[in-house]
Chain A
Amino acid sequence: MKHCLILGAHSDVALAIAHQLAKEGHSLWLAARRFQDLEPIQKDLEIRYGVPVACFAFDAEKPESHQAFVEALPECPDEVYLVFGYLGPHPGSLEHPTDARRIVQVNFAGAVSVLQALALAMQKRGKGAIAGISSVAGERGRKSNFLYGSAKAGLSAYLDGLRNYGYHHGFHVCTVKPGFIRTAMTAGMDLPKPLTASPEQVAKATISGLRKKKGRVYVLPIWRWIMCLIRNIPDSMFRKKQL
């Protein structure tokens, strides 16, 4: 039985990861900002799978609390799933400075701050594994979501670098890029079916990618090719596109 920490436990992807890990018999530590709301989820996982589940308060926007958060865990987790993220209503705009700061703080600064503390604990113990849910949006800055995209680009670069660092210090890091996901957030949106993964698919790809020590995981393989294409469109053309 492994101890698995899920950061941002409210989202549909986090829930899918939690269900799959609990089904495999692992103990879960769920961390989220509104952690009182986690109680039904905790009960549900305990009843369905008979595994121990504990909940912790965690706020990605309060980096000063992250060291204490990690120290308050019962021990260093065996696996960490960083699932939280913030897209917000204005991911590509100059007119919402508060929202812009929040996108960067949650997706990049908050993620880096908590992973620094967790990775250090893993380094001390000489083992551990981290999966970070980043985004294909980080592969090229786009008109429609450059704030979110740039924060996720930062996260991807951080995860990639941490993987290389961890290779020499006994822990593994996996960068996951889901593409479109069918979630509560995107319900009702008209997403192209072949490009859209279910939260269960994201969970499966993430967990198996981490176990197989993969570096970068595209949940749906087609996204690898789409992003390869998008990265290679010359800038002089790309800037005129409405993407």
Chain B
Amino acid sequence: MSPFKQSISNWGNYPLTESLVYQGKERPASGPYIARGMGRCYGDSASQAQIWSSRANRCMLDFDSNTGVLTAEAGLTLDEILQTFVPRAWFLPVTPGTKFVSLGGAFASDIHGKNHHGNGCFSDHVLWIDLENAEGEVLRCSREKNQELFELTAGGMGLTGIILRVALQLHPIETAYIKQRSIRCRNLQETLEQILAHQHWTHSVAWIDCLAPGKAMGRSILLLGEHAKANELPEKYQNQALKPHSTQQKNFPFFLPGFALNSFSVKTFNFLYYHKHLPKQKEQLVHYEPFFYPLDAIGHWNRIYGKRGFTQYQFVLPPDQVDGLIKIIETIRAHGMGSFLTVLKLFGPQKENYLRFPKEGFTLAMDFPLSPKLEGFLSQLDALVLKHGGRVYLTKDLRMPPEMLMASYPQAEQFRQKIKEMDSKATFQSLQSQRLDLHL
């Protein structure tokens, strides 16, 4: 397999780069290059003129059916893991809002899910990884061996080397279904109260309406979920208790023109979504697919944001900074910048770890189509996030200035020093890491 040229953009459709792609055992003769899996980061974290793609390395290498530990090559996707292991009563310990991410990407971004408040990040469930460094050596890294490298790589955005293999602890389930409770909350105050009052639920996330004015500001639908036990399943599901998700997908057929998405259409969508939920509280039994991956049902849904592309702005604020959260939501509303799906979630305690994003507090994520005036607006948000002791998620980022990173990630400078010590030539660089000035 020789390298080939390909136009590459990640999930946000911007930036588009002409890259030379290497696969399998091929490596560029020299850096900089970056490993890339499914390209589900939003911005430029997996962009570079030279890329090593893990797509050709997706074998499962070992599975221990007693312990539930799966060892696999880093290109394997969460989608394939679910297809294979849900029927055997195992689930992912942590999953993001899409199953189309690779193991390597999940570790490098140290992704989180709806269960972060109780179960932590993806890397908390990884026993070890095999990492290939700039010299081509393969190092097994875990909490016992090469511990520092393990920690630098968890959330390290691929800047420490190529993740080749991952050993992941799967989570036992009895059924493929989720007991879901949804609660309609009238405003931000109630939303936060309800989130805190339901921390004992395994999965918890709130969809919030950023554009609702005045007293209704921050109204939301809070979704809570618990894996259903076998005896909780109604008879009609009993013979398909461990049914994996469907592999069928409908594609969004074309890029919507830029004007289709405006504050009116977003307001209407949010209004309908909120008011569709008539009773105060609903209990339902749903399959894991619509619960965890509602958007995976539509392939290429990123096209609704048009050809110019879009970005997601996700930040976290410490738990005592609710006034900061209110200010940010007010700023969004004042600019009419609400997005279709603004998601609010509580992170549990999390040890500080180099570039890893989650820390205890509230995280809010929203999509914005790219436009000339967006940067001005996002730097306003940056200032508020910083002022209130928060930070922004690198996996979604496309434009953060380096000063923001250094000011909001207390160990970023240390990370920068350490990767320099490991590899003075800085072999592994993404457009993002160059933009963030992470290479000394």
Chain A residues 6 to 24 lying within 8 A of chain B, measured CB to CB, are none
- Bound CA–CA A40/B72 (angstroms): 9
Chain A residue at smallest Cβ distance from B83: A48
**A33-56 near B? 1/0 per residue, CB < 8 Å:** 000000011011001100000000
Which of B60-68, B95-103, B130-138, B333-341 lies at the binding interface? B60-68
Q: Check A187–B62 contact: CB distance below 8 A.
A: no
Which residues of chain A come closer than 8 Å to B56, judged between CB atoms?
184
Q: Is A188 in contact with chain B by the CB < 8 A criterion?
A: yes
Q: Check A40–B73 contact: CB distance below 8 A.
A: yes
Q: Smallest CB–CB gap between B245 and chain A, Å? A: 16
**B19-35 near A? 1/0 per residue, CB < 8 Å:** 00101100000000000
- CB-CB under 8 A for A188 and B5, given A40-B73, A48-B84: yes
Q: Check B21–A188 contact: CB distance below 8 A.
A: yes
Size category of the binding interface on chain A: 10 to 19
Q: Is B6 in contact with chain A by the CB < 8 A criterion?
A: yes
Q: Is B259 in contact with chain A by the CB < 8 A criterion?
A: no
Q: Check A187–B6 contact: CB distance below 8 A.
A: yes
- Bound CA–CA A184/B21 (angstroms): 11
> Contacting A187 at CB < 8 Å: which of B21, B61, B63, B80?
B21
Q: Check A40–B23 contact: CB distance below 8 A.
A: no
Q: Check B61–A184 contact: CB distance below 8 A.
A: no
Which residues of chain B come closer than 8 Å to A188, judged between CB atoms?
4-6, 21
- Bound CA–CA A187/B4 (angstroms): 7
Q: Is A68 in contact with chain B by the CB < 8 A criterion?
A: no
Chain A residue at smallest Cβ distance from B5: A188
Q: Is A185 in contact with chain B by the CB < 8 A criterion?
A: yes
Chain A residue at smallest Cβ distance from B24: A184
Q: Check A43–B60 contact: CB distance below 8 A.
A: yes
Size category of the binding interface on chain B: 10 to 19
Chain A residue at smallest Cβ distance from B70: A47
- Bound CA–CA A185/B56 (angstroms): 12
Chain A residue at smallest Cβ distance from B63: A47
Chain B residues 203 to 230 lying within 8 A of chain A, measured CB to CB, are none
Q: Check A47–B23 contact: CB distance below 8 A.
A: no
Which residues of chain A come closer than 8 Å to B61, judged between CB atoms?
40, 43-44, 47
Q: Is A229 in contact with chain B by the CB < 8 A criterion?
A: no
- Bound CA–CA A185/B23 (angstroms): 11
Q: Smallest CB–CB gap between B141 and chain A, Å? A: 20
Q: Check B59–A41 contact: CB distance below 8 A.
A: yes
Which residues of chain B come closer than 8 Å to A189, judged between CB atoms?
4
Q: Is B197 in contact with chain A by the CB < 8 A criterion?
A: no
Which residues of chain B come closer than 8 Å to A40, judged between CB atoms?
59, 61, 73
Which residues of chain A come closer than 8 Å to B59, judged between CB atoms?
40-41, 43-44
Q: Is B278 in contact with chain A by the CB < 8 A criterion?
A: no
**B43-86 near A? 1/0 per residue, CB < 8 Å:** 00000000000001011111100000000010000001000100
Chain B residue at smallest Cβ distance from A49: B84
Which residues of chain A come closer than 8 Å to B5, judged between CB atoms?
188
Q: Smallest CB–CB gap between B79 and chain A, Å? A: 13
Chain B residue at smallest Cβ distance from A48: B84
Chain A residue at smallest Cβ distance from B88: A50
B-side residues, CB < 8 A to A, are: 1, 4-6, 21, 23-24, 56, 58-63, 73, 80, 84
